[in-house]
Each structure stands twice: as structure tokens, then as C-alpha cells.
């Protein structure tokens, strides 16, 4: 039986606040998206390896299974590249508004992977989310490319989350995270030559960190990846998964508020943008409640 204290719930909100800060950090780092993801995932992989060493965990998995996990790591790399690219194309707020659709993408992807039926309320909430996006597109047409990339990033996030849900049944969180971060880093490295071919003469691959890049990358790799991950694993022993997932949906809210605080006028959008974002967030928050209600209704029918 789960019995979380007030301290546990406050810690959970702190973790969500940390994750909401990632889009802002992506804008503070001077490196382009691909180089940024390479360094972030490399630092995270090293960080998890150190954690595994001190916790005396095992990394021993068969080669075919390692390749499966690393395949998901490639999706994570693609997600983060598009995530940071979206923030650069638009603003951190626009990026996070698009990322708020992750839970509802999951609602449609999960039944396909598990070969179950799509629930009626998932379709309804999907329509509501589309209406929220249309409100944003109508009044923030200058950011349509950034928002579109964010939607693609949210789709990738939903896809790797569903696949990770299956992997977590067989492997430890530390094994999954290490191999995924390693694969994400290697994918970004392999993509650099292709990325270089798309550059203009004025653009070059940036390997060298400037100013405070080292600090922002350390925070991204350790504080925003390894640290919250290990804390979440620990909290799952004491808090219901439903409570954790519901709280995670607040990440875009915290992120948008932080973006306005850090960047000021640059992040302030039209009232219609916030209306559209509010519509999306309401849908995202309603989804787990409807899902919980549906499961309880089914269980009641079985008992009666």
C-alpha cells in the first residue's frame, strides 16, 4: 500500500519544476540542438554509470535486448533534438504548449502497441486538444513551425514512453536509462555529418563550449536527467503511480511560468495563446481522471 507524506508530494512537484526548466536551459546554451543533445546525453550516461557503480547495480543484458533498448534511445535523441529545435524556432512557451499534448498522443499510441481499443473519451479529449492548437495557430501564426516541431517532439516522447513501459517490466530503470542515454548520444554523433551537409557556409558544427555552457550542460545532464530520475524511482515506492503521472502533467505550466520569469517580455504571448494552452492543459489533466473513473467503473461491474 502506498502512503506518501507531504514531503514526498513536495519533492515530486520539485522534480516536475526541474523538468519544466529544460526548455529554458536549451535556450541558454549557445550550442545548436544536435550538439546540445550529444553533450547532454553523454553527461547523463556517465552520470547514470557512476550511480550504477555506487549502487552496485548490474548492466549485464544480452546483446539483442541491449539493441532493443538502444533503439528506444534513438527515439529519445530524436525527441530531444526536435524539442530544443522547437524552442529555438519559436519560444520556450510555444515549445512547452506543443509538448503538453504528450499525454494525449500516449492515449492513442498505447492501444496500438498493446492492441487494445481506443477509449471514447480519448477521442473526445483529442478533439479538444486540436481545438486548443487551432486557437494558438490562429493567433500565433509566426510560430507555426516551432509549434509543429514541438508536436512532433511530443509524439516521439509518447512513443518512447509507451515502449519504455514495456521495457520496465523486464529491466531495471538504471539499465534502461544507461543504454538509452548512450544510444541517444551515439545517434546524435552519427547524425552530425548529415547535419553538417545541411549547413550554410556561415554555419559550422560547434564542439567548443562558450561562457556558461559547461554549467547549463551539467545542469541539463545531471540535475535535469540523472537527479530527477533517481528521485522518481525512489518516490514510486511510496506514491501511487496515478498521483505521479497526474503531477507530471503540470510540467508545461511550470515551464511556461519559469520562461516568463527568466526571459521576460520575449516570452510574453497574446491572451489567445494562453487560452489555447489552457484548453490543452485542461484536456491533459482531465484525461487521467477519466481513465481512473473508467477503471473503477469496470472494477465495480466485475465485483457486482
Residue 57 lies in a domain: yes
Per-residue pLDDT at 217 exceeds 80: yes
Residue 163 lies in a domain: yes
Task: Scan for cell 473508467, then name that residue.
Answer: 294
Count of CB atoms situated within 10 Å of the CB of 140: 21
214, 93, 84, 213: which is closest to 143 by C-alpha?
93
Average pLDDT over residues 82-98: 84
Q: Is the C-alpha dihedral spanning 203, 209, 215, 221 positive or negative?
A: positive
Whole-number pLDDT of residue 78: 93
Whole-number pLDDT of residue 199: 47
At 252-303, the pLDDT tens digits run: 777 777 887 887 777 677 788 788 878 877 877 787 777 778 777 777 766 6
As a three-state string, the secondary structure of 112-159 is HHHCCCCCHHHHHHHHHHHHHHHHHHHHCHHHHHHHHHHHHHHHHHHH
Whole-number pLDDT of residue 201: 44
Q: State the cell numbers at 116.
A: 487494445
At 284-297, the pLDDT tens digits run: 778 777 777 877 77
Whole-number pLDDT of residue 177: 86
At 31-79, the pLDDT tens digits run: 888 888 899 899 999 999 998 888 888 888 999 999 999 999 999 999 9
Per-residue pLDDT at 5 exceeds 90: no
Per-residue pLDDT at 249 exceeds 70: no
- Which residues are within 8 A (CB) of 100 and not within 5 positions of it... i.e. 6 or more apart? 154, 249, 252, 277, 280, 281, 284
- Cα torsion 270, 134, 112, 75 to 10°: value is -50
In a 10 Å sphere around its CB, with 0-12 CB exposed, 13-18 middle and 19+ buried, how is residue 245 labelled?
middle
Residue 203 lies in a domain: no
- Structural domain including 146 reads 6-198+209-303
What span, in angstroms and rounded, lies between the C-alpha atoms of 55 and 60?
Answer: 15
Residue 1 lies in a domain: no
What span, in angstroms and rounded, lies between the C-alpha atoms of 177 and 167?
Answer: 11
Residue 182 lies in a domain: yes
Number of domains present in the structure of the chain:
1
Whole-number pLDDT of residue 68: 93
Residue 268 lies in a domain: yes
What span, in angstroms and rounded, lies between the C-alpha atoms of 141 and 203?
Answer: 27
Per-residue pLDDT at 241 exceeds 60: no
Whole-number pLDDT of residue 1: 43
Distance of CA 238 to the CA centre of its chain: 23
The proportion of the chain whose per-residue pLDDT surpasses 70, expressed as a percent, equals 86
Residue 67 lies in a domain: yes
CA distances 4 to 9, 10, 11, 238, Å, are 7, 10, 11, 5
Average pLDDT over residues 161-168: 81
What span, in angstroms and rounded, lies between the C-alpha atoms of 204 and 90?
Answer: 22
Highest mean pLDDT among 43-47, 83-87, 131-135, 168-172: 43-47
Whole-number pLDDT of residue 15: 87
Q: State the cell numbers at 298.
A: 469496470
Whole-number pLDDT of residue 304: 55
- Which residues are within 8 A (CB) of 74 and not within 5 positions of it... i.e. 6 or more apart? 183, 184, 187
Whole-number pLDDT of residue 66: 93
Residue 204 lies in a domain: no
Q: State the cell numbers at 226.
A: 540523472
Average pLDDT over residues 114-143: 76
At 165-208, the pLDDT tens digits run: 788 778 888 888 899 999 999 999 988 777 665 544 445 566 66
Output 16 or 183, whichever has higher pLDDT: 183
Amino acid at each position: 500500500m502506498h502512503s506518501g507524506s507531504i514531503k514526498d508530494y513536495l519533492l515530486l512537484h520539485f522534480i516536475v519544476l526541474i523538468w519544466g526548466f529544460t526548455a529554458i536551459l536549451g535556450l541558454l546554451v549557445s550550442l545548436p540542438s544536435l550538439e546540445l543533445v550529444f553533450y547532454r546525453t553523454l553527461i547523463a550516461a556517465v552520470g547514470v554509470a557512476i550511480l550504477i557503480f555506487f549502487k552496485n547495480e548490474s548492466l549485464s543484458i544480452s546483446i539483442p535486448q541491449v539493441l532493443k533498448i538502444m533503439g528506444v534511445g534513438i527515439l529519445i535523441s530524436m525527441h530531444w533534438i526536435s524539442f530544443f529545435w522547437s524552442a529555438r524556432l519559436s519560444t520556450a512557451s510555444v515549445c512547452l504548449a506543443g509538448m503538453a499534448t504528450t499525454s494525449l498522443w500516449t492515449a492513442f499510441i498505447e492501444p496500438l502497441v498493446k492492441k487494445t481499443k481506443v477509449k471514447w473519451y480519448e477521442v473526445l479529449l483529442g478533439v479538444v486538444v486540436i481545438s486548443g492548437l487551432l486557437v494558438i495557430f490562429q493567433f500565433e501564426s509566426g510560430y507555426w513551425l516551432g509549434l509543429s516541431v514541438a508536436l512532433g517532439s511530443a509524439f516521439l516522447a509518447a512513443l518512447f514512453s509507451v515502449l519504455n513501459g514495456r521495457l520496465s517490466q523486464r529491466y531495471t530503470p538504471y539499465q534502461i536509462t544507461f543504454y538509452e542515454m548512450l544510444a541517444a548520444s551515439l545517434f546524435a554523433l552519427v547524425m552530425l555529418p548529415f547535419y553538417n551537409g545541411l549547413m550554410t557556409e556561415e554555419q559550422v558544427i560547434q564542439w567548443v563550449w562558450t561562457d556558461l555552457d559547461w554549467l547549463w550542460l551539467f545542469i541539463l545532464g545531471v540535475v535535469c536527467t540523472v537527479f530527477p530520475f533517481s528521485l522518481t524511482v525512489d518516490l514510486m515506492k511510496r506514491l501511487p503511480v496515478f498521483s505521479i503521472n497526474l503531477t507530471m502533467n503540470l510540467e508545461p505550466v511550470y515551464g511556461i511560468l519559469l520562461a516568463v520569469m527568466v526571459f521576460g517580455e520575449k516570452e510574453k504571448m497574446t491572451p489567445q495563446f494562453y487560452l489555447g494552452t489552457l484548453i490543452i492543459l485542461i484536456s491533459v489533466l482531465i484525461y487521467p481522471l477519466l481513465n481512473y473513473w473508467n477503471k473503477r467503473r469496470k472494477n465495480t461491474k466485475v465485483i457486482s
